[in-house]
Amino acid sequence: MRVFAFLLAICLMAGCASKPDYYISPAPVTIPKTATYWLDTFDVDVVGKNERFLSDAKVRQQLGVDLINRLLQAKRYATSKDKADYLLDVDVIYTRRIQDTQGGFMTAIVDDNTILASVDFNYSVKIKKADAEILHFSQARQGLMPGGYRGDWQNMKTVAGVLTNSGNSGVESFYTGVLSRFIVDDLRNIPSR
């Protein structure tokens, strides 16, 4: 009996610890797979300032353009705000993880604060209709590094930047050109009931 009670308690704790993929308020929402969106607000907070990398305004612009382009390619971006089925409010925290050995062994090889080791991409998206929020979700993507064939090329350029002590500031445009796919993927995965 004690074993059963213990297993039941574990199951209940696991259920309480899990969270839904989407928060829907106040009642279940139906969003058709063909729904169109309009980017109403797009705020980006850049953490990890460094003059070697893109300015805050440039990061914001490139992330916003990438998001709109991906929605256009998916045929999910409206031609105007008035014609959109839903409006999006997007808040992004873009955090640079810049290499800083604080005078350690690596400083003899490459200068501190010249290598963008990875990026954290955290975002919150609110979906509105008639100025009322119907759904919101958020994700925390930590320690992202270039991947895929384009990412492999960026990684080789980073290695070259380390070997020549010139840094890898060019890799940032890779990040700002691919990260918005996470938001579009989440929009596509909203359940249509």
Q: What is the pLDDT of residues 131-145, one digit of tens each?
A: 889 888 999 999 888
Give the pLDDT mean for 78-87: 96
> Would residue 4 count as lying in a domain?
no
Number of structural domains in the chain: 1
As separate numbers, helices (DSSP H) first and strands (DSSP E) second, the chain gives 5, 5
From the list 62, 41, 61, 31, the residue with the least C-alpha distance to 134 is 31
> Would residue 3 count as lying in a domain?
no
> Would residue 1 count as lying in a domain?
no
pTM of the predicted model, to two decimals? Answer: 0.77
> Would residue 5 count as lying in a domain?
no
> Would residue 39 count as lying in a domain?
yes
> Would residue 14 count as lying in a domain?
no
32: Cβ–Cβ under 8 A, 6 or more apart, which residues?
A: 85, 192
pLDDT averaged over the chain? 80
Report whether pLDDT(88) > 90: yes
177: Cβ–Cβ under 8 A, 6 or more apart, which residues?
A: 62, 66
User: Two tokens at 111?
Assistant: 């200068």
Helix (H) or strand (E) holding 85: none
DSSP H helical segments within the chain, as ranges?
Answer: 2-17, 56-73, 148-163, 172-176, 181-188
> Would residue 174 count as lying in a domain?
yes
Lowest average pLDDT, out of 5-9, 97-101, 108-112, goes to: 5-9
Give the pLDDT mean for 172-192: 88
Q: What is the pLDDT of residue 90?
A: 97
From the list 167, 149, 146, the residue with the least C-alpha distance to 158 is 167
* Domain containing residue 50: 19-188
In the block, which residue shows the tokens 């705000």? 81
> Would residue 11 count as lying in a domain?
no
Convert the pLDDT of each residue in 18-68 to its tens digit. Answer: 444 555 555 677 788 899 999 999 999 999 888 889 999 999 999 999 999
Please list the helix, strand and coil fractions of the chain in percent, rounded to the nearest 5, in that order.
Answer: 35, 30, 35
